[in-house]
Structure 1
């Protein structure tokens, strides 16, 4: 491989790594480390993670402080979650657009 090709591979690799890093949202809390679910999705409307592991008995359950909630309604009725909604952490995420309930996509929807 000549020097130009090596340089281009290096530049492209750096650009790809930078773009992937930019897509990751540093303001999200770390994903839960729970043996009952291997795949997590962030739910911006609740500020919690949802189990997206279709092999788990907790599939589509909301997870907050070590507990699974089978529905958004049950999560929102929990005393621990109500306290979280009043916290500065929750309000800061909502203010920054994370968890604000606003929707957007690549196509503007």
Structure 2
């Protein structure tokens, strides 16, 4: 293998490793510890977790501030969530993550 090919393999390997690191969920907030749901999915649009436990009565409910919301609309009508939406924390979390179209600086993707 000539020097150019070796260099390109090294560069591509580095880029792939960096991409994978950026997509980790290390920078997401900790998943809720709630006995009513064992599987959580991050929803970057709302900046909250959604219960993805098919055996839970809260399956597909949004979780914020210790409460479950059966729909995005109910979540968005919550006074606590409205306050959260105005925060810089929300703006950083909701705008990053897998599929959000932005790099995950505060919140990995």
Same fold per superposition (TM over 0.5): yes
5 Å-filtered alignment, 1:1-80, equals: 22=21, 23-80=23-80
How many pairs were matched up? Answer: 84
- Residues 53-108 of structure 1, C-alpha deviations (whole Å, 9 max, x = no match): 0100000000001100000000000000000000110112245x3499549xxxxx
Match for residue 10 of structure 1?
none
Counterpart contact for 1:43–1:99, Cα < 8 Å: no
Secondary structure in 2 matching 1:84? helix
Cα displacement (A) at 1:27:
2.4
Flag structure 2 segments of 5+ consecutive residues without an equivalent: 1-16, 103-109
Could you list the structure 1 runs, at least 4 aligned residues long, displaced by more than 4 angstroms after superposition: 99-103
CA distance in 2, matches of 1:55, 1:72: 20
CA distance in 1, matches of 2:55, 2:86: 34
Match for residue 15 of structure 1?
none
RMSD (Å) for aligned C-alpha atoms? 2.6
Output the TM-score relative to the length of structure 1.
0.67
Flag structure 1 segments of 5+ consecutive residues without an equivalent: 1-17, 104-109
Change (3 A) 1:100 1:44: same
Output the TM-score relative to the length of structure 2.
0.67
